[in-house]
């Protein structure tokens, strides 16, 4: 399974468009892995998590063909994760696609209420409502949804994605998972876990995570058997308010077995032997 991290930043991106803080100024000066657009992940060229407002930038920068995407999984309705108007660009006269297969979009009731799905039907977009605790087939993959510790007023989902015998947790936006979710996750043996680290070194556990919560999440997964020594752990969704540049994040988390994602990073997740 190939993972491609299209964007790895929080809602404001990094550097922020209007920000003059030292973290953003340093990112502008250093460039490279310190430039973070809004978070999204592509899997095997046909599956995608979230649709941020930087999607067009991702297409141009990473040489993508979004017409190949068949299944789009939305974590929640915040604009940095679901800029739904981009989906209208899939239809005529904005796009002339040779392949007329539908794009299947999955999300909760709040995602459903955010977009005009009737209008998007003309662009070949089909919506599937997901509930926490539910699952569905998505092409050759199986998708499981769980309640995130995020955006309590409306809700958000985290997902386990299974394909070709490989299980991936897409675990953000979320703070430390609710106890009920830990119980539900115990049925899985993860090959990879993508966790958020919005707050850098801050000791944040609710709504988002900081480094202490990320480390504890990995430790609990190992202790409970949800993960093993071979499980690939990756942190993403970083904010400039966390205060750590890419190399500083690596210094803090690499010793704890967690990789730091950057825009354009590709990873291969092997099947368990």
Token reading at 256: 């704890």
Beta strands in the chain (DSSP E): 2-7, 40-43, 47-49, 71-73, 103-107, 125-129, 135-138, 141-147, 157-163, 166-171, 192-196, 232-236, 258-260, 265-268
pLDDT, residue 52, reads 98
Q: Is 212 exposed, middle or buried (0-12, 13-18, 19+ CB in 10 A)?
A: middle
Give all domains of the chain, ordered by start, each with its CATH number.
2-268 (3.60.15.10)
Of residues 63, 6, 55, the one with CA closest to residue 35: 6
pTM of the model: 0.97
Phi, psi of 72, deg, nearest 5: -125, 120
pLDDT, residue 99, reads 85
pLDDT, residue 152, reads 85
The predicted-structure confidence for 58-75, as pLDDT tens digits, reads as follows 999 999 999 999 999 999
The predicted-structure confidence for 159-170, as pLDDT tens digits, reads as follows 999 999 999 999
The predicted-structure confidence for 144-155, as pLDDT tens digits, reads as follows 999 999 998 899
Phi, psi of 41, deg, nearest 5: -135, 135
């Amino acid at each position: 399974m190939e993972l491609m991290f299209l964007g790895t930043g929080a809602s404001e991106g990094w550097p922020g468009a209007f920000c003059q803080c030292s973290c953003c100024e340093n990112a502008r000066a250093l460039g490279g892995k310190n430039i973070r657009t809004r978070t999204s992940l592509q899997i095997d060229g046909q599956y995608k998590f979230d649709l941020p407002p930087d999607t067009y930038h991702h297409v141009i920068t990473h040489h993508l063909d979004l017409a190949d995407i068949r299944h789009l999984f939305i974590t929640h309705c915040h604009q940095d994760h679901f800029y739904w108007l981009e989906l209208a660009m899939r239809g005529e006269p904005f796009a002339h696609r040779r392949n007329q297969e539908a794009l299947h979009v999955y999300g909760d009731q709040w995602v459903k209420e955010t977009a005009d799905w009737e209008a998007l039907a003309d662009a070949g977009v089909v919506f599937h409502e997901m509930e926490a605790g539910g699952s569905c087939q998505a092409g050759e993959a199986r998708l499981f949804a769980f309640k995130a510790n995020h955006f309590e007023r409306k809700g958000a989902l985290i997902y386990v994605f299974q394909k070709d015998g490989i299980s991936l947790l897409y675990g953000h936006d979320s703070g430390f998972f609710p106890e009920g979710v830990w119980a539900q996750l115990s049925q899985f043996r993860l090959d990879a876990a993508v966790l958020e680290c919005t707050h850098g070194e801050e000791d944040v556990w609710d709504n988002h995570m900081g480094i202490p919560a990320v480390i504890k999440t990995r430790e609990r997964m190992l202790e409970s058997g949800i993960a093993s020594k071979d499980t690939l752990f990756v942190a993403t969704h970083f904010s400039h308010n966390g205060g750590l540049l890419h190399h500083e994040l690596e210094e803090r988390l690499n010793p704890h077995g967690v990789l730091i994602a950057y825009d354009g990073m590709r990873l291969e997740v092997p099947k368990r032997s």
